[in-house]
Amino acid sequence: MTAPGTQSANHEVRLAPRKFALDRERAKLGGVCAGMANWLGTDPLLVRLGFAIGTVAGLGSLILVYLVIWFVGAVAE
């Protein structure tokens, strides 16, 4: 907020795009869930639980998603 009679400069704040990367230090298997947790700014346990529940509910389809992310992340490193 500016004081009456003064003008504020328009400053644009640009955030650097977040880059996804596998997290090998906190990895349980491939580092996908830990990397997603870093990217989302949350706890890796929540992402792991989401993947586990999604895998059961999706009849295993998230296993393929996990493997693709793991492969692409490993190739990108």
pLDDT, position 9: 62
Position 14 in a domain:
no
Q: What DSSP letter does each residue of 3-71 carry, written as one string?
A: -TT---------PPPP-----SSS-SSSSHHHHHHHHHTS-HHHHHHHHHHHHHHTTTHHHHHHHHHHH
- What pLDDT digit, counting tens, does each position of 44-60 carry? 999 999 999 999 999 89
**Which of 20, 19, 46 shows the shortest CA–CA distance to 32?**
20
Position 72 in a domain:
yes
**Which of 19, 27, 22 shows the shortest CA–CA distance to 70?**
22
Domain containing residue 45: 32-76
Position 43 in a domain:
yes
Between residues 66 and 1, the one the model is more confident about: 66
pLDDT, position 23: 94
Position 68 in a domain:
yes
**Number of structural domains found in the chain:** 1
Position 13 in a domain:
no
**Which of 28, 68, 69 shows the shortest CA–CA distance to 49?**
28
